[in-house]
Amino acid sequence: MRALIISFYQYPDGDAGSIRQHAYAKILQNLGYEVEIIGINRKILDQFNFGVYENVSYSLFPMNTASFFSKVIGLVHDYNNFVHNYLLKTHPIPDLIIVTRIPLIPFIHIKKYAKKNNIVLFHDCVEWFSRDQIFGHDHFDLGHFLPFILASIQIRHIIDKSISVVSISIYIHDYFINKTIPSLRIPVIMDKNKFDMEVGDKCRSIFSLSYAGSPGNGNKDYLIEIITAIRTLTRAEQNALNFTLLGVDISQLSKICHMSEDTLESLSCIHAIGRVPRSEVLNHLMATDFTILIRSSTARYAKAGFPTKVVESLMSSTPVILNMTSDLGMYLKDGYDCIEVEHEDPESIVRALRRALALTPEQKDQMKKNARKTAEENFDYRLYIEEFGKFIKNES
């Protein structure tokens, strides 16, 4: 049996989506499938890239996202031709296809190809943007406007009963079930063996806090509120804190928070170090006391998605300071593997930070162990092999 996984992700480990792709590949291999992944390559822009990663074959399409219009018009057209003409015409017909984060035109072609050849087609639905991400009170995001419109058309009108959906959240799962479209809910999944289980140094005098992500120019991860909360802390509390932001440099943080770089740099506890390799991010996560992630409790993007950042933190034996958006409340427990922020406002974040700062080294060490336990019991891909296998059989 042969399976294809097709997306716009940077396989094998260029982004969070590619980690999920690889988890699906390992699930399918365990179910007896020969798997090939089709993704994009932003590192080598003038040639296709073919290879094997942990026994999974992949084909990567070169894609330069520097130009918005070339990305949306030219490269999407080229990518569609690459998928349709090369991989779907010259390779053996697959028995199963999983698509995720695919632009509308290639998605329609793949849907027609699957129907024509009686192929089981799955859509892995991992996000649903909110309108206010595009039309904010102080910004208009041109780069995401057309993808936002096309993705909405895809979810609302193109995905029908001929397609089975793997939904990352209850919000998305319920939407498709209410349309009588088959859906299986699988949260963020990854390989627990890719993470070192050792807990970081104990008894540190400075409380280390981290944020890892690329929020763009918006405030989807509530960095404004987090920085405002840190500024509200007393000088003694700030001196006891070391907050590192990975994926955001000081210039980006200044724009996001509407604060001058001088103001941010005056807070000696804040260190925005910009983009770093994923391996360095994971090493940092394992060494930090807590990570932090705050998102809207009402916006669709937060209810429909599931934060990979939280699962990576837990897998790294690092508890999280967070508010319970999406389905997080199903898995995490305040004081056990996380510190819950009651509301997404600076005052609530301050209270959570003070709870974290008051923890003893022994309490932090226990919460690190609990975090890893939660991750192993809920987010390792092996937990979903049998369930996904049953889902495939029901739809075959």
Mapping DSSP onto H, E and C, the string for 246-262 reads ECCEHHHHHHHHCCCHH
Per the CB < 8 A criterion, the answer to whether 208 and 289 are in contact is yes
- List pLDDT tens digits, range 184-243: 999 999 999 988 766 555 546 789 999 999 876 668 899 999 999 999 999 999 999 999
CA pair distance 22, 26, nearest whole angstrom? 6
pLDDT at 68 over 50: no
Q: What is the pLDDT of residue 128?
A: 87
User: HSE (CB half, 13 Å, CA atoms) of 120?
Assistant: 16
Residue 381 or 90, more confident: 381
Is the CATH number of domain 2-189+381-395 3.40.1390.20? no
Domain ranges, ordered by start, for the chain? 2-189+381-395, 193-378
- List pLDDT tens digits, range 268-309: 999 999 999 888 998 999 999 999 999 999 999 999 999 999
- List pLDDT tens digits, range 116-172: 999 999 999 998 876 665 555 455 555 566 667 777 888 999 999 999 999 999 999
Q: Do domains 2-189+381-395 and 193-378 have the same CATH topology?
A: yes
Q: What is the pLDDT of residue 145?
A: 65
Task: Please name every residue paired with 56 in a beta bridge, in sequence order, or none if there are none.
Answer: 53
Q: What is the pLDDT of residue 142?
A: 58
Identify which of 22, 36, 51, 40 has the alpha carbon closest to the alpha carbon of residue 79. Answer: 40
pTM here is 0.90
For the chain, give the mean pLDDT. Answer: 88
Q: What is the pLDDT of residue 396?
A: 43
What is 193-378's CATH topology?
Rossmann fold (3.40.50)
Residue 88 or 375, more confident: 375
- 85-94, 248-257, 328-337, 347-356, range with the lowest pLDDT: 85-94
Overall average pLDDT of the 376-384 stretch: 98
Q: Is 381 exposed, middle or buried (0-12, 13-18, 19+ CB in 10 A)?
A: buried
pLDDT at 103 over 60: yes
